[in-house]
Structure 1
């Protein structure tokens, strides 16, 4: 077998491997495929056997790890702001206003409602059900991933995105989606690494906690956008009354902001810092999902996928540089802090223990 974690296939003869220089920041050499090997070729160094007999299903299918708990805690200020907004709206319903608040609080259960998840997959994530041919390629790989993890694969629903980019998604309680590019252009071992990564988000509780937090923050986001639109309109009107009108508007808005901050004990200031903290927790969740895939024996395949993602990002940066007249477009520090994924070298650094581990570990 090519890797100790892959069960041997008695019908497949041993394959001699070549080695290439290590990936940047990686301690183990990367296997390279010979000339003319397609992703579907069984001789590809990242091809895995999907022939498996009995499967052990773990008693504990999911957990809520530190990243999921941190995500929920960081959404508390957004929840309180949304609760305040919903409370204001409920005043228009008189004595029945409390029912509006209770209905909104109970609506979070829709995150785990299968028809609602299907609507989210189609409308928001632009996913579709796989075709018969796509399912024939996807399901054996998914069975291998879930078998190694001891997870019931039928719990989750597989989706496909019509995109020529390498990407995948885990959302709500049961959605696992991959792009058409990943499905058709990756060897089945690398596709398994991608699916194992997304399964790690579900097993750790990252997917449902993120969507639940986003759902309860939605009324506050809508109110914030409405206030921004009103403020922009006031500024446009105040310009017609010269500097005096502008000063009055600034004083009025400043007074309202100061009263809001003092009344809610600085909660609005905390809300301004929440996106940066959520991005940091999101980066930690990505590293945990990487570790989940690596622990299942897909570390070399995942490293190869990360290299392809890095190359994809480099090509996008080259296109932006070309459009900017050959001048590189630097990324602002704030954009870096708001990034939901760690950089390429950080992810490879955390994969190194799995790439350099001796066989059998």
Structure 2
């Protein structure tokens, strides 16, 4: 049983058990935290880094609204208003289920799978003082030992992780994903991606269109294609000069965003370790072949490591040492 909590103070078990005995069975009294979610520094860092992409997307959506108003008649502010409000769907349960099924390719666990997964999840959330019923458990058909947290309430593990990880290590993985939710990493990541999407798609379309235009022109005349390339280069130079080279800073955003993502992973590791799952998480990391974890940078070049969304195993194990 969990030690009776002091009023107003959430209790977290620090006993690093290797195998859970599901002490927090249904009906057991569990003290829940008053604040179920928070936002750490990585959340604000990620949102700040996505501000240029958000402003670019806003300009794109406003431009589309103006075109629609000229052609079809609806007010120009309507598309922008709907787009700005669409971010709330990240916490809308039906929208989350659509995202889980049709975008992430997840499946609801079968009764036998849920019988294995639910008690472990109950133990993890009880230790954290979190209402586990707020979240939905999903299964990913994959041969990787992995898990993910997304949107406002999605927690998923791969089938291989469910079937092959010992109970303690499975709990450590779930505690890590719970840390992403309670610290705000999931909703901020989804909103940053969503609100930068129109600008990103427009940029890709312009880049692809420019390449096709140059190829099309070169099919008729190489001198004409050369002139077009020179004109595009002059336009780019003029833009950089007029903006004091600020667009060049956008080239650093992928590296800065990846650095913030790696820090978020370490914070989620710390969350799991703080609940007593540090040794089991370290055991799981030690058992993973280098580079087999999604987003990890093991065995890659320096540039790829800078763009990796996850720290390498050695770095994660180093930060877990204080909890072992």
Q: What is the TM-score with the length of structure 1 in the denominator?
A: 0.79
* 1:54 is aligned to 2:29: yes
Equivalent position of 2:42 in the other structure: 67
Decide whether the 8 Å contact of 1:77 with 1:267 is kept in 2: no
Q: Name the counterpart of 1:178.
A: 157
Is the counterpart of residue 85 in structure 1 residue 57 in structure 2?
no
Q: Deviations over 1:304-346 (max 9, x none)?
A: 11112235739xxxxxxxxxxxxxx973322111100001111
CA contact (8 A) 1:6 1:48 kept: no
Residues of 2 paired with 1:312 and 1:134: CA distance? 27
Q: Which residue of 1 aligns with 2:129?
A: 150
| Runs of 4+ displaced beyond 6 Å | none
1:111–1:117 contact (8 Å) kept in structure 2: yes
Is 2:142 the partner of 1:163? yes
Cα deviation, 1:21-47, whole Å, max 9, x if unaligned, reads: xxxxxxxxxxxxxxxxxxxxxxxx831
Whether the 8 Å CA contact 2:141–2:158 is kept in 1: the answer is: yes
Structure 2 equivalent of residue 38 of structure 1: none
Deviations 1:154-188 (CA, angstroms, capped at 9, x unpaired): 11110001112101000001000000011111111
Helix, strand or coil at the partner of 2:292: helix
The number of equivalent residue pairs is 301
Give me the whole-angstrom Cα distance separating, in 2, the residues matched to 1:218 and 1:55: 41
Structure 2 counterpart of 1:187, from 166, 189, 203: 166
Q: CA deviation at 1:266?
A: 4.2
Secondary structure in 2 matching 1:46? coil
For residue 217 of structure 1, the aligned residue among 196, 209, 227 is 196
SS at match of 2:20: coil
1:333 maps to: 302
* 2:196 matches 1:208: no
Equivalent residue for 1:5, pick from 5, 14, 24? 14
Judge which range, 167-176 or 45-54, deviates more.
Answer: 45-54
1: CA distance between counterparts of 2:84 and 2:238? Answer: 27
Q: CA deviation at 1:84?
A: 1.4
Report 1:311-350 matches (<5 A).
313=292, 331-350=300-319
Farther-moved stretch of structure 1 (235-244 vs 288-297): 235-244
1:197 and 2:179 correspond: no
> What is the root-mean-square deviation in Å for CA atoms of aligned residues?
2.0
Q: Distance in 2 between matches of 1:189 and 1:218?
A: 38
CA distance in 1, matches of 2:235, 2:66: 21
Q: Retained in 2: the 8 A contact 1:68–1:205?
A: yes
1:228: Cα distance to partner? Answer: 1.6
The separation in 1 between residues aligned to 2:112 and 2:165, in whole angstroms, is 15
Name the SS for the 1:240 alignment partner.
helix
Distance 1:127 1:264 in 2: 44
State the shift of 1:254 in Å: 1.7
Change (3 A) 1:330 1:60: closer
- Indicate the residue corresponding to 1:317 in structure 2: none
Q: Deviations over 1:40-72 (max 9, x none)?
A: xxxxx8312212232110111110000111111
Residues 235 and 249, structure 1, Cα contact 8 Å, conserved in 2: yes
Give the secondary structure class of the aligned counterpart of 1:178: strand
1:258 is aligned, of 237, 261, 270, to 237
Instruction: Return the match for 1:238 from 195, 202, 217.
Output: 217
User: In the alignment, what sits opposite 2:272?
Assistant: 293
